[in-house]
Amino acid sequence: MVAFVMVALAVACVLGLEIELGDPVLAITVTLLIFLPVTLWAVAYVLAPVKAMFRALAGTVTSYRDGDFAFGLVWKRDDEVGELVDAHNALGATLRGQREALVQRELLLDTMVQNTPVAMLLVDPAEHIVYGNLAARKLLGTGKRLEGLKLAALLEVAPEALREAVERGGDGLFVVEKDDEEEIYYLARSGFRLNGRAHELFVLRHLTVELHRQEVRTWKKVIRVISHELNNSLAPIASLAHSGGELVKLEKLEQLDKVFATIAERAKHLEQFISGYARFAKLPAPRLESRSWRELADRLRAQVAFEVEGPLPEQPGRFDPAQLEQALVNLLRNAHESGSAASDVGLRVRKVPTGVAIEVSDRGQGMTETVIANALLPFYSTKRGGTGLGLALVREIAEAHGGRVALANRNGGGLVVTITLPQS
């Protein structure tokens, strides 16, 4: 303390200040006033690089938050700040590597989605299209970009069958007529949240070529099924006929009744089997008549239970009563076999721009995409022992009337089969 006071007095003397020896406080005050600015400047000079580095660290953290990982920092001193900078650079390198890998995966995924033959549309809550791949542009926009368009505006110029499929809701098949040919598509839709907002994805899969291949496989199956049934009946008939001949030789005529009864049973089974397929193959042209929808509903209710949903059209329809009744009975029985209660099996008839739509709905388990894609094919069945002719016959009847059939899963579970018939 004494030394500091002496230094202060000496500084005061150098500066020409007259300070008494007995006044050390004044000497210390004067010295601090002289040295404090110098000291503060020296401290600021020493800490300036550290402050600059802290500002750089804050800036790179902001860049990381914005997704920019291209920054690196340099600190030449081997101290604690240097360790912090090294750790920060290592973090940036890790994030940069992860970002590059993510970008590569996104590019790969985008390339795959853009070039897939399946058309995809992503729609936001305001029903604006936010994404459409190349297949969707080709199918719906003649190759033009779809982003930013309203879904409703796009559907106005889309094929009518697609518009009806979207309005119907759920998943299902629809048919587009183009150049006197039918193109079959499957519409699947799903919802998910993107950036905290609900979006809906529409997927349109072209099934025509695949169904043609399936038809070839189906006809091969038909040959196997018919061969199997014929062998199952003809082999025992031939065996029993031989046994009957032996019994005649042995004059055991009392056993012939049993042999003939078995032969008659197998022959009757074979006749029923062949006639069932013959009815499908030789479906006559429909004889259109003007009939009341209420009368048709009453005839159906006499054979199977169901609920009529909504009012029936007052104007009579033109259809073949026997054929349409057969088709609807098949659909209503299928609805009961789905496990639905009778009160959940519904029949609805409504007018559409192209004619009239007849809907049979249930609350069963619905169908998978694979089953929906194949359900209308002849001889395709998921039922044990099923012939696979029920829905195929419905399709044949509808198309013979100039209409079509569509299957779709219902929101909340179940299936709806729609027969659309033209009306004059």
Tokens of 389: 């002719």
Q: Is 29 helix (H, G, I), strand (E, B) or coil?
A: helix
Closest among 107, 116, 157 to 134, alpha carbons compared? 116
Q: Is 34 helix (H, G, I), strand (E, B) or coil?
A: helix
pLDDT tier, 252 (very low <50, low <70, confident <90, very high otherwise): confident
Torsion angle, alpha carbons of 38, 44, 45, 49, to 10: 170
Sign of the CA dihedral running 193, 195, 199, 202: negative
**From the centroid of its chain, how far is CA 75?**
53
- What structural domains and CATH numbers belong to the chain? 2-110 (no CATH), 116-205 (3.30.450.20), 211-281 (1.10.287), 289-422 (3.30.565.10)
Whether the CB-CB separation of 334 and 349 falls below 8 Å is answered with: no
pLDDT digits (tens, 9 = 90+) for 315-368: 999 999 989 998 999 899 989 988 888 889 999 999 988 899 999 999 988 888
Whether the CB-CB separation of 30 and 11 falls below 8 Å is answered with: yes
- Can you spell out the DSSP letters for 13-41? HHTT----TT-HHHHHHHHHHHHHHHHHH
pLDDT tier, 103 (very low <50, low <70, confident <90, very high otherwise): confident
Predicted local confidence at residue 22, as pLDDT: 46
Long-range contacts: 225-228, Cβ < 8 Å, 24+? 225/379, 226/277
Predicted local confidence at residue 17, as pLDDT: 46
What is the average per-residue pLDDT within 278-307?
Answer: 85
pLDDT tier, 253 (very low <50, low <70, confident <90, very high otherwise): confident
What is the average per-residue pLDDT within 273-294?
Answer: 78
Element (DSSP H or E) covering residue 202:
strand 197-206
Most confident of 74-83, 141-150, 260-269, 391-400: 391-400
Distance (Å, whole) CA 329 – CA 360:
10
Predicted local confidence at residue 28, as pLDDT: 59
Tokens of 145: 């970009």
- Can you spell out the DSSP letters for 153-178? HHHHTS-HHHHHHHHH-SSEEEEEEE
What is the average per-residue pLDDT within 205-231?
Answer: 71
Distance (Å, whole) CA 48 – CA 328:
88
Predicted local confidence at residue 316, as pLDDT: 92
Whether the CB-CB separation of 185 and 204 falls below 8 Å is answered with: yes
- Decide if pLDDT at 418 tops 90: yes
Distance (Å, whole) CA 186 – CA 202:
10
Distances (CA, A) of 334 to 303, 310, 325: 13, 21, 14
- Decide if pLDDT at 203 tops 50: yes
Distance (Å, whole) CA 382 – CA 368:
11
- Decide if pLDDT at 15 tops 60: no
pTM, two decimal places = 0.45
- Decide if pLDDT at 21 tops 50: no
- Decide if pLDDT at 23 tops 70: no
